[in-house]
Amino acid sequence: MCGICGYVGDNRPELLEPMAKVIAHRGPDDMGTWHDTAGEVGLGHRRLSIIDLSPAGHQPMSNEDGTIWLSYNGELYNFQQHREWLISRGHKFRGRSDTEVIVHLYEEKGPEFLQDLNGIFAIAIWDANKRTLLLARDHAGIKPLYYWHSGRKLYFASEIKALLRVPEIPRELNVQTVPEFLTFLWVPGEETMLKGIRKVEPGHYLLWKDGRVETKQWFHIAYEPDERISEDQWVRDVHDTFMLTTQRQMMSDVPLGAFLSGGTDSTAIVACMRKSFPDRQIKCYTYSFDEGDMARDQYEADYPYAKRVADILKTELTNFRLAPDVISLLPKMVYHNDEPDADPTVFPSYLICKLAREDGTTVLLSGMGGDEIFFGYRSHKALRFLERLSWIPRPLLSPSLGLAESAASAMMGAQSAIPRRLRKFRRALDGDGVRRFLELSDWSSPLVRRRVYAKGFASRLDLSDAPPASLQKYYDSFVGTGELNRRSHILIQTFLAAHNFLYTDKSSMAVSVEVRVPFLDVELMRLAARIPERLKLKGQTTKYLLKKSLEPYIPHDILHRSKTGFGPPLRKWIAMDLDHVLADLLSPSRLASRGLFEPNVIQEIIAENRANKADHAYLLYCLLTLELWMQTFIDRPGEEVTL
């Protein structure tokens, strides 16, 4: 895995090295730059050597006559078969890397070559003959790619902090994204919170020519369930495809291991690794909490399950204990995330990757994506239940749920899981269409969010009840049948592409570790899209077909354990360990100077949360993270701050 950067429509070769140096953590093994004054183009690259560790993998890389130049971040899992075809077409190879395959595939097919790729990537290709720059992001947005376009100039990079090495790129808050951030904990879609800096969307490419930019979606998936296939055959197909997916993502010339929480998805990955390579040493990594830390957030301890799985599958398991002092890493996590992200899961992600790197492991396989393609979330179950309740008049059902929520909150506390889930379910019941999807993804109260904005700032925002345009776009772009399938489509485009994949990429690359996600293999995604919904969620059993396919390798109680989150005890941290940080970063004077939020309202919210009268933990963490992010990327040009 690597880091890329560059420009077109400008002649600033002196910026390439500073842009590449600021993302050195993405590629400590090599650095390269190339520019062409006549073409007004420059490319930069940082290399983390994974396949072909020799100098033959140096980038930027060109074809034989220097008319095609490439800077590439990622792994191509099917590059060997393309390499053989390209050799038969007369292409010559200098080394064994997948990078050369991409160069020659582009020569053969132009932008259509993207249809042939099965991998994770962000790509920049300069075509001197056509005088075009192509920027492309993989099918699911697993690797990040940002750009800034003004007039003829276009700058791009794997991380925003590299773009901020360009003096004329403004550091201005994109105010219309603030409500989305407070709603989702991150910003979905192509926008970022820095005005003018955008993301190339998943499965899209951007083409620059003569100063003009055109974007196009190159990856499409249709959810078309095939009812002709028997359940037993689906079980075999899922088993065989998932086994193949995991095998091909284990290719590496450096040590490779896996995350292991003891949940279904990470266990499935490790089980396939062991089945594929019975005698190979397999290293796994996890973390644990003190029981007192978990109580307020009601997490179930993962470590005992992970240890049991490791013993059954005969793998090495390394664990670290996540202690409250980890919050001292908060400024570092904000710096590496680039975009504000108020999910504290970035802490264990970073620390597991750091532990693996110190243990000599450079590549980790992750179970991300299993919940999306095989229906593993409570929201999938909630949607099905909502469909079955559609015959009951809402005026009868909604008040009953409201009473149940109030009773649960009074008995258990507002921050307990049951009243939180009842609250979300009731709001989803009152909505429909894209509104229902929004309520199932909302992390704080809409009524509370409307109160927090300072009056002058609120006048600049769209605070209507309309769902965010990005969510509406993904809702409308769904192709196929089934509302649960539509839910998964939206989750892949938003929750994964704009959040899970981004923080995982940033936290792993911060310590020069590559993370791969076998569940989001193109072949497995297309297979899952053809499976009937009733076999992905069967009765109350989530990920039914996946679990059936794994029964020969994994005990029943592990396969069917309750869904639990991968994350630290945020509510406990907000209530205790971060209290002094909240008092500082969200002080009335600091809030007043920013002019974004109403100081008195924020103090009321902090007091309500302290008294357990309401669950504002994630909203407060949003506000805290946003303030640190502004100090890092607006007050400074992407420079880590200290608390």
* Per-residue model confidence (pLDDT) at position 53: 79
Question: pLDDT tens for residues 31-66?
Answer: 999 999 999 999 999 999 888 778 888 999 999 999
Q: State the pLDDT confidence band at 292, using cuts at 50, 70 and 90.
A: low
Query: Which residue ranges does the chain devote to CATH 3.40.50.620?
Result: 223-567
* Secondary-structure class of domain 223-567 per CATH: alpha beta
Query: Which residue ranges does the chain devote to CATH 3.60.20.10?
Result: 2-172+189-217
Percent of the chain with pLDDT over 70: 91
* Per-residue model confidence (pLDDT) at position 453: 97
* Per-residue model confidence (pLDDT) at position 564: 67
* Per-residue model confidence (pLDDT) at position 445: 84
* Per-residue model confidence (pLDDT) at position 55: 85
d(CA 633, CA 39): 31
* Per-residue model confidence (pLDDT) at position 463: 86
464 within 8 A of 205, measured Cβ to Cβ: no
pTM over 0.85: yes
* Per-residue model confidence (pLDDT) at position 38: 95
* Per-residue model confidence (pLDDT) at position 503: 96
Q: Is the pLDDT of residue 417 over 70?
A: no
* Per-residue model confidence (pLDDT) at position 393: 61
* Per-residue model confidence (pLDDT) at position 95: 85
* Per-residue model confidence (pLDDT) at position 419: 63
> Which amino acid, 388?
R
d(CA 252, CA 93): 19
End-to-end CA distance of the chain: 31
Task: Give the C-alpha distances (Å, rounded to integers) separating 189 from 121, 232, 499.
Answer: 18, 38, 10
Q: Compute the mean pLDDT over every residue in the chain, rounded to the nearest whole number.
A: 91
Q: Is the pLDDT of residue 298 over 60?
A: no
Q: Of 487, 573, 577, which is closest to residue 537 (Cα–Cα)?
A: 487
Q: Which of 127-141, 220-234, 567-581 has the lowest mean pLDDT?
A: 567-581
Q: State the pLDDT confidence band at 572, using cuts at 50, 70 and 90.
A: confident
Residues 6+ apart with CB under 8 A from 132: 126, 207, 208, 209
> If DSSP codes are grouped into helix, strand and coil, which group holds residue 216?
strand
Kindly tell me the sign of the dihedral angle through the C-alpha atoms of 595, 600, 605, 609. Answer: positive
Instruction: Tell me the chain's radius of gyration from C-alpha atoms.
Output: 24
Task: Say how many C-beta atoms besides its own lie within 10 A of residue 70's C-beta.
Answer: 23
The contacts found for 456-463 with CB under 8 angstroms, 24 or more apart, are 456/595, 457/175, 457/595, 457/596, 457/597, 460/175, 461/175, 461/176, 461/178, 461/179, 462/176, 462/179, 463/179
* Per-residue model confidence (pLDDT) at position 467: 86
Q: Is the pLDDT of residue 414 over 70?
A: no
Task: Say how many C-beta atoms besides its own lie within 10 A of residue 234's C-beta.
Answer: 21
Q: Which of 145-159, 263-277, 561-575 has the lowest mean pLDDT?
A: 561-575
d(CA 566, CA 621): 17
d(CA 425, CA 81): 48
Q: What homologous superfamily is domain 2-172+189-217 in, according to CATH? A: Aminohydrolase, N-terminal nucleophile (Ntn) domain (3.60.20.10)
Largest CA distance in the chain: 74
d(CA 215, CA 110): 15
Q: State the pLDDT confidence band at 627, using cuts at 50, 70 and 90.
A: very high
* Per-residue model confidence (pLDDT) at position 399: 65
